[in-house]
Amino acid sequence: MAETLLSVRSVSKSFRGLRAAAEVSFDVEEGHVVALIGPNGAGKTTCFNMIAGALAPDAGEIRFAGRRIDGMRPDQVCLAGIGRTFQLVKPFAGLSVLDNVIVGALRRNSHVGVARRKAHAVLERLGLEGKRDQPASALTLPDRKRLEVARAIATEPRLLLLDEVMAGLRPTETDRMVAVFRRLNEEHGLTILLIEHVMRAVMALSREIHVLHHGELIASGSPDDVVRHPAVLDCYLGEEAV
């Protein structure tokens, strides 16, 4: 039933001798929610950047819906159907919340009127409709994160890359975000690959978890398996759990 939507094969990347990613391989099946976890500096965002086209891998290949996308520009990757958020949110500060999302919606809808309608719908889904005319710079952090997600969703992606979207959110806000993602995944079939440190969200959402450490994949499996995996417990000793 589920086809492999994203296939990462033996991908490596070094920065001036420092190995950020070492022959990382994993798949993301269509319709699944998959999490990428690991301590800081493990190479998670590097992998994201390589998938999203912000970096080109030194070796390996990345396929999306069968097509190779490694080495493509970020805008080409978006056109192929991958949306992403940034770890440090990047709102279009001088534009209103609505305009921010319209920019995203314009990817698949070249007519501004149509893009605007779709933007309203996305804002509604993310609970930002009431703030649509506010400048993005006036938003609180949780709202900025929601805006970031809304913008990416507006590009109508098949795969959504979420980079530490829960960081800095209070538990109630985290739960709200989790609910939104679960709805997007279950009702709209959106495939999600997320980097997260907030285990609460990871356990609630993911079907599979891949664990990175020092650029290497050290464990993969269902949440229950991974949480008991000896290598994972080793590297997470002292880290926040649940």
Partner 1 sequence: MKALLAATPKRALFLMAVLAGVLLALPAFANAYILSVAILILYFAYLGQAWNVMMGFCGQLSLGHSLYVGIGAYVSAALFVHFGIAPWIGIWASILACMAAGAAIGVLAFRFGIGGVYFALLTIAFAEFTRIGFDHLDWVGGSGGFFLPVAQREINDVLALRGSPAMFYYVMLALTVAAFAFCTWLLRTRIGYYWQAIREDPDAAQALGINTFRYKMLAVIISAGMSSLSGVFFAFYYNNLFPEQIFNMSRSIEIILGPIIGGTGTLFGPILGAVVLTVLADGITELMAAFGWEIPGVKQVFYGTCMLVVIVFLPNGIWPTLARRLGLERREGGPHG
Q: Is 70 exposed, middle or buried (0-12, 13-18, 19+ CB in 10 A)?
A: buried
Q: Name the minimum Å distance from CB 24 to partner 1.
A: 21
Give a three-class secondary structure readout of 24-53: EEEEEECCCEEEEECCCCCCHHHHHHHHHC
Out of 63, 116, 182, 197, the only residue in the binding site for partner 1 (CB under 8 A) is: 116
Site string for partner 1, 24-63 (x = CB under 8 A): ----------------------------xxx---------
Q: Which is nearer to partner 1, 86 or 236 (CB)?
A: 86
Q: Name the minimum Å distance from CB 94 to partner 1.
A: 5
Based on the shown chain and the rule CB under 8 A, indicate whether residue 91 belongs to the binding site for partner 1. yes
Q: Name the minimum Å distance from CB 80 to partner 1.
A: 9
- DSSP, residue by residue, 142-204: HHHHHHHHHHHHHT--SEEEEESTTTT--HHHHHHHHHHHHHHHHHH--EEEEE-S-HHHHHH
Q: Name the minimum Å distance from CB 220 to partner 1.
A: 27
Based on the shown chain and the rule CB under 8 A, indicate whether residue 183 belongs to the binding site for partner 1. no
Angstrom distance (rounded) from CA 10 to CA 213: 15
Which residues in this chain contact partner 1 in the complex, by CB under 8 A? 52-54, 73-75, 78-79, 83-84, 86, 90-96, 98-99, 102-104, 106-107, 110-113, 115-117, 120, 132-133, 151-152, 155
